[in-house]
Structure 1
Amino acid sequence: MPAYNSIFNNDPSPPRLIGNFPLLPIRTKTRGPAYALPPVSLPAHESPDPDDESYDILDEVLALFRANTFFRNFEIQGPADRLLVYGIWFVSDCLGKIKPKASFREAQKDVMNLALDTHFAIPGDPAWPLNQMYEAPRDRQDAEQLKLYMSQVRQELAVRLLARVYADDETTPSKWWLSFVKRKFMGKGL
């Protein structure tokens, strides 16, 4: 059985690419270069339906995270899959920062520190886990734009993940999310 790929690979309007990393629109309040999708009137721990215009790649990352972490192989079928892979690795790192007995405030501090950290690798850097599957940005300006976009994605993913992990109780994290801490998607991580 193959891993789950992104539905955004079939999008009729191709996304802007830096290297071969897509800059897809996201639903966010965080400042950055991403085109912002319309907000939704759902609780923070819920995602809109995939048919909705506000459904974005970050909703898909969180929806497919638990299923895809079981796979050691992943066939990239389009640019959106590259962002999906990065999102899954980042969610895995965030879950590793949440302690089993941490309250929402403690976890928020640790996860947001990870999301706001500006010293992270981008495609083309020696520390990037899969440089053979990702192209480096053409120039310094593209690299800066990609870093800003990835930072915006990291911050929005952290907020949405925390809302899901603490959806039932703000004093303890969901064991159903934390049970995936030791799993490594494709045997790699950021």
Structure 2
Amino acid sequence: MPAYHSAFNDVPDVRLIGNMSALPLKTARMGAASPANPNEADIIDEALDLFRANSLFRNFEIKGPADRLLIILILFVSDCLAKIGSARNVPSKIEAGKMLNTLAVDNFPIPGDSTFPLNAHYASPSSRIDADYLRSYIQQARVELVNRLIEILYADGTGKPSKWWMSFQKRRFMNRSLG
């Protein structure tokens, strides 16, 4: 059975940076991403929906530019779960939010940087302006992903993260990690 791919691979009129899509996001924050229709799913929703199924796969055939963004987001979800799981005490929703928001805005490599773990699959941005836009876009996507992930993890109201989600903290999609 093959891995699940992005439904946004064939969306027309999307900005490409290198060979990765910069898709619209449903967010109230100002940033590099263009606003998406709030009534439809965006790439963040898709990454959260496909995370558990795709984290079981070691191989992933990239079928389009949105798949490259999906890979980065799924790997970031893995890093978020690992960060919560490695905390000495089980963090509350507020503590986890602070911890993950810090992780989201920390300095991170983008495609083309020497420390980016998947450079073989990504093209570098063509200019410094594109690189700055890509960094800003990915940071905005990471912050939005953290906000939605926290709501999912702590949805049951017990003050502890969902055991179902936390069971995936040691799984590595494509045997990779962004951290």
TM-score by length of 2: 0.94
| Equivalent position of 1:166 in the other structure | 154
| Equivalent position of 2:92 in the other structure | 103
| Equivalent position of 2:24 in the other structure | 25
Aligned equivalents of 1:77 and 1:70: distance in 2?
Answer: 18
Equivalent position SS for 1:90: helix
**Identical counterparts, % of pairs:** 53
8 Å Cα contact 1:103-1:172 kept in structure 2: yes
Q: 1:59 aligns with which of 36, 45, 48?
A: 45
Give the AA of the match of 1:80. Answer: A
Aligned equivalents of 1:32 and 1:188: distance in 2?
Answer: 28
Aligned equivalents of 2:101 and 2:37: distance in 1?
Answer: 24
8 Å Cα contact 1:17-1:23 kept in structure 2: yes
Q: For residues 26-41 of structure 1, what are the structure 2 equivalents within 5 Å?
A: 26-40=25-39
- Deviation of the 1:96 alpha carbon: 1.2
| Equivalent position of 1:44 in the other structure | none
Equivalent position SS for 1:122: coil
Give the AA of the match of 1:187. Answer: N
Unaligned runs of at least 5 residues, structure 1: 41-53
Alignment length, in residue pairs? 175
Deviant stretches of 4+, over 3 Å: none
**Alpha-carbon displacement from aligned partner over 1:48-68 (angstroms, at most 9, x marks no partner):** xxxxxx210110000000000
Equivalent position SS for 1:8: coil
- Deviation of the 1:38 alpha carbon: 3.3
8 Å Cα contact 1:103-1:170 kept in structure 2: no
Matched, 1:152 2:140: yes
- Deviation of the 1:170 alpha carbon: 5.0
Aligned equivalents of 2:59 and 2:13: distance in 1?
Answer: 25
| Equivalent position of 1:187 in the other structure | 175
- Deviation of the 1:39 alpha carbon: 3.0
Q: 2:110 aligns with which of 119, 122, 134?
A: 122
